Amino acid sequence: MRSRWTRLIRPQDVVWLPVFAILIATLPVADAPEVMPVVALGVAQVLEPKLFRSTRGRIFWIALKLAFGFMLMGYTGGINSPYFLVMFLPVVSAANFFGVLGTLISTLLASGAYLTYLLFVREWADVSADVAVRIAALLMVGNLASILVEEIRRQSEQHRLTAEQLAQANVQIREAEEAVRRSDRLAALGQLSAGLAHELRNPLGTIRASSEMLGKSLRAENEVAREVAGFITSEVDRCNSLVTRFLEFARPLKLRTDRADLAQVLDRAVAAVGREVPAVVIYKNYQPDIAPFPFDAELMERVFYNLIVNAARATAPGGTVTVKTRAAGGFVEISVIDRGCGIEAKQLDSIFNPFFTTKPSGVGLGLAIVAKIVDEHGGEIAVESEVGKGSIFRVRLPAELKSGQASQPA
């Protein structure tokens, strides 16, 4: 309720009340014809910021105040009216709404309306010498009001730009904090994975050797036992593959950077995915003028393969995946675009975390390793997705090695 009344009654409205009360009290004859224009001016001044905020509405209020001011001067002495100051109201309103040009037009109209009373003067000796001064004052007030409003608008624009910059900086800070948290999680999980993988490899090797010996010692007619021994061997191989991926994730990367052709690396990844998922068409949209730049071609081919194969698997048979490249301010951006099932918004912040997966048989290390490789290159990876409309994975790699970044030619 309080907010509603705050919107309806402003502090300025309380100020206008005694102002117009004083004007009424100083009228030489407090009859209806003299009082009505003052009351109408007060009502217009209070209602102006609340009703008809369109351009036409504002012009209406300015014209209304100009008419009431003209009437008040007509009732109180015409050209010599002491209430000439009410003509400042439409001029200041025009300065507030319409800038320099609107102020000039309003000032000229107010001056013209005031000077109209010269037509009703019978004796020029009755004309006050202050007429020229009043016109000059009207022009002065209009000009000063216009300058003040322009300065306020300029400062408001600066404040708006500053607020936008602060909001953008806050977003960047949150992204940086998230990147640091992700790096910390990767480091901790990497150490855990390395220790666990080393501990698992020895018993897995023993189990596999035992299953092979068991399979060789079984008689040919014991098919069930042979099949079980085969299951043991295949499952051990699957576990070994998982352990290998753990080690790849945990092992510190040693980049072997050399200037390589990005298009060639992408072509190899696209060809590999095409053989694996032939039902999806992969379009290439490469910017032709991207020169070779330093990166680890083998590792980045693996990154692109993972992103493209994920996009292809998320796309229905007969659908398309687009691989796009472009130079962007000291970076090279690679986008993998699909129109597949998309990713839920609540999962977008977690897809690069280790062991997070939406696939029933997935491990959740593919995108974590991809993010790790991109980070080691000093690059960035981001995703945009909408359920039912597809996803866009963007990888940004620096076109030149950053200072202090190791360079080991292949």
Q: Which residues contact 409 (CB under 8 A, 6 or more apart)?
A: 256, 257, 258
pLDDT at 63: 83
Rounded distance between C-alpha atoms, residue 255 and residue 395, angstroms: 17
pLDDT at 271: 93
CA 129 to chain centroid, in Å, comes to 61
Matching fold, domains 174-250 and 258-398: no
CATH superfamily entry for domain 258-398? Histidine kinase-like ATPase, C-terminal domain (3.30.565.10)
pTM equals 0.49
Domain boundaries, the chain: 2-128, 174-250, 258-398
The predicted-structure confidence for 297-322, as pLDDT tens digits, reads as follows: 988 999 999 999 999 999 999 999 99
Rounded distance between C-alpha atoms, residue 296 and residue 344, angstroms: 32
pLDDT at 156: 87
Q: Which CATH number fits domain 174-250: 1.10.287.130, 3.30.565.10, 2.30.30.790, 3.40.50.11540?
A: 1.10.287.130
pLDDT at 284: 94
Angle at 186 between CA 185 and CA 191, to 5 degrees: 100
pLDDT at 394: 94
Segments of the chain with pLDDT less than 50: 1-2, 5, 404, 408-410
The predicted-structure confidence for 29-47, as pLDDT tens digits, reads as follows: 656 677 777 777 777 777 7
pLDDT at 2: 45
pLDDT at 409: 45
